[in-house]
Amino acid sequence: MVMGNAVAQPLLLLSTVLLARELGPSRFGVFSFSFTVATLAGLAAGLGTDNILIRETNHSPEHRGTLLGSAALLRLVAALLVIAIVLLAVRALGYGLEYRKALMLASPYVVITTFWYLQEAFFKSSLDMHIAASMRIGARALLLSGVLALGWLLRVMSVANAIFITTLAQAIPLLIIAPVVVRRSRPSLSAKRSFVFLLLREGWPLALTDVLVVIFLRLDVLFLSHMTSPANVGRYYAAARLAEWLGAIPMALQATALPVLSKAYSERDPSAFAKAFQTALDLLALVLVPACLLISYLAARWIRLLVGADYVSAWPALSILAWAQVAGVTYTFSTTALIALRRQKMCIILSLMAVCVAGCLSWLLIPAWGITGAAVAATVAWGSGTAWMLWSPFGRSLLGGFLRSLRLPCGGAAVMLFTLHFLMPWYMGALVSLLSYLAVIYLFRSYLHPAPPEIALFPDAPALSIRA
């Protein structure tokens, strides 16, 4: 899954870059708004059943087909309801006609997205990560092919065409892989009440968490859509996507880690749990810190090189959003551990806090600082969840080892910064600074130790039982 994302994410980044160049800031802003809302709606329609499905099929594999069929029926009904609610809400909130038309065109993406996540959850539950990774790579390759065909060859790129090819690229791999899911699981199309109640009872905290997470991730775009022009929305979204590619591999590793952590919990093995959790975070810190520094320090150059001079005013936002990925990874892995430990209700507290912080700061900072204020609000919102985790004893036992491990990559980043400041041209400085970072990590690798296992992480609650 990690390698799949490592291939898929550059394809998505290249597609985004080409779309931003072809559409221009204003039309790219309208496109960005429509898919921001559609993604939020797709997650809401999932009802939080993705991770519950992974956890429960590992615990009770004999019920896989019934669980999958129940989740599919729930998602279909929820997706249709969410689409209707979103279209009415966007009209009631007074968004412009161009925004409403784009969102209506993107409505099928909501249904496709919610079933996409369901299929991914099925393959993750059986540890068939290569199939889920192949789906992502196929979708990103199709999207890039469509952008090249419509934008560069036919020169007919528009907001409507961009929405169409993005939706189609997601739908084709979904339909191709669907027979594999049906053959392996034989999902029951008559959902049993006990399984529906199980999914709703266990999934609602995660559903609320998913919605809250996407709200605070994209609240900046929603506020910018109301308070500024579509061009500013497009510039900000381009900067956000350039920063978010840093979080693609961590997100894939998080999805891979959940089945491993869930298995360690079900086997009551705190040593395996702590080792897997700590090792994943240590590896991510070693990769993310130097990448964030390079993106942040050279932000203006990256934007001009990738999406063009029309977007270069967004470089302060990119500099800030790059560092948001470190806090975002810590937050994401914390929620993953909470799900595996059956403490998913704590995720609601983290997400609600982040939404409140993002909303208040966006309202205060965007009128004064524009897209830079939106970037500050998003970054602080990510950090608020991590800060709350560190304030609680449980969070400190979970993240204490990771914070100790951060000392080494931060020391290497200081050496990188010194090198970048004194070496020109910039691309030579970037190369030499990376080599110096690797040298520091190698020389002082003995300081990178996984945290000792914390027995206190495992509550005494009994394992969940499913009654058919």
Question: Rg for the chain (alpha carbons), in Å?
Answer: 22
Q: For residue 267, what pLDDT band results from cuts at 50, 70 and 90?
A: confident
Over residues 19-43, the mean pLDDT reads 88
> Over pLDDT 70: what percentage of the chain?
78
Distance CA 302, CA 246 (A): 14
Long-range CB pairs of 431-438 (<8 Å, 24+ gap) are: 433/290, 433/293, 433/294, 434/290, 434/294, 436/412, 437/290, 437/412, 437/413, 438/412
Structural tokens at position 446: 């003995």
Query: How much is the pLDDT for 61?
Result: 65
Top mean pLDDT of 186-190, 242-246, 359-363 is at 359-363
Burial class (CB in 10 A: 0-12, 13-18, 19+), 243: buried
* DSSP code for 62: G
Residue 78 confidence class, pLDDT cut points 50, 70, 90: confident
Answer whether 379's CB lies under 8 Å from 320's CB. Answer: yes
Backbone angles phi, psi at 40, to 5 degrees: -60, -45
pLDDT in tens, 203-225: 666 677 777 776 766 778 888 88
C-alpha 258/C-alpha 53 separation (Å) is 11
Predicted local distance difference test score (pLDDT) of residue 428: 66
pLDDT at 50 > cutoff 80? no
Residue positions counted in the chain? 468
The top-scoring range by mean pLDDT among 207-211, 278-282, 292-296 is 292-296
pLDDT tens digits, one per residue of 356-405: 888 899 889 998 888 999 999 988 888 887 787 778 777 777 777 667 77
Considering the chain, what is the average pLDDT of its residues?
Answer: 78
C-beta separation of 382 from 244 below 8 A: no
445 class by beta-carbon count within 10 Å (0-12 exposed, 13-18 middle, 19+ buried): exposed
Dump the DSSP string for 189-245: SS--HHHHHHHHHHHHHHHHHHHHHHHHHHHHHHHHHHHS-HHHHHHHHHHHHHHHG
Q: Which tokens hold the place of 47?
A: 């009802």
From residue 61, give the alpha-carbon distance in Å to each of 18, 48, 461: 44, 19, 21
Q: Helices in 298-422 by DSSP H: which ranges? A: 299-306, 315-340, 345-369, 371-391, 393-405, 407-422
Cα 206 from Cα 103, distance rounded (Å)? 25
> Per residue in 100-134, pLDDT tens?
899 999 999 999 988 888 887 777 766 666 777 78
78 vs 53, which has greater pLDDT? Answer: 78
pLDDT computed for residue 376 by the predictor: 92
Q: In the predicted model, what is the mean pLDDT of residues 314-322?
A: 91
Quote the pLDDT of residue 144.
86
pLDDT for 84 equals 92
> Quick one: average pLDDT of 338-344?
76
305 or 420, greater pLDDT:
305
User: pTM of the prediction?
Assistant: 0.77
**What's the whole-number mean pLDDT along residues 42-47?**
79
**Which one is predicted more confidently, 351 or 400?**
351
Angstrom distance (rounded) from CA 178 to CA 402: 39
CA-CA-CA-CA torsion sign (293, 294, 300, 303): negative
The mean pLDDT of 225-245, rounded to a whole number, is: 86
